[in-house]
Amino acid sequence: MTYGWAILIMLVVIAVLFYLGVLNPRGVAPNSLTFPPGFSAYDYHLDENAHLFLDLGHTQGETITILSVLCAPQAGGDTPTGSAPYTAEIPNGEHRVVSNGGITCSGASGTFYKGKITIYYTKKDAPTFTHKIVGDLSHRLEPDSG
């Protein structure tokens, strides 16, 4: 009977710690944005209103043109939809800002966002073929630093 009380007290203490947010894994999880090989996020930010700021780089061997950028809980569809603030052309080995707060990540609530960044682009040597990459975003919603 003594062990039963000890286990019950430990469960209550753990439940209280979770309730207070001390053991909340989202509070200690680092911000991350990962893309497939050949693409990288030089810098990114998700403000308190879930507006996306993204500086994207690539090493695809040729210049690419960004057609659209989407941010949602699931990856975008098979055709380019959504909006990008402007079309960005990124030479091989360089990076450019592809979202300057003009894209809102849908499904964001609370203080933490987990979703997908879908980017549609064409290659300069083959502009008729549209390519798609999907990145995984985990980010705390933070106040904009101005």
Give the number of domains in the chain: 2
Distance of alpha carbon 44 from alpha carbon 139, whole angstroms: 10
Kindly state whether residue 126 falls inside one of the protein's structural domains. Answer: yes
Judgement on whether residues 37 and 24 belong to the same structural domain of the protein: no
- Supply the pTM of this predicted model: 0.73
The predicted-structure confidence for 2-17, as pLDDT tens digits, reads as follows 888 888 899 998 888 8
Q: What is the pLDDT of residue 50?
A: 85
Average pLDDT over the chain, rounded to an integer: 82
Type and span of the H or E element at 6: helix 2-20
Judgement on whether residues 54 and 121 belong to the same structural domain of the protein: yes
Judgement on whether residues 15 and 47 belong to the same structural domain of the protein: no
Kindly state whether residue 146 falls inside one of the protein's structural domains. Answer: no
The predicted-structure confidence for 44-76, as pLDDT tens digits, reads as follows 988 888 888 999 999 988 999 998 888 888 776
Judgement on whether residues 41 and 25 belong to the same structural domain of the protein: no
| Residue 103: CATH number of its domain | 2.60.40
CA distances from 72 to 95, 107, 138 (A): 23, 6, 12
pLDDT at 133 over 70: yes
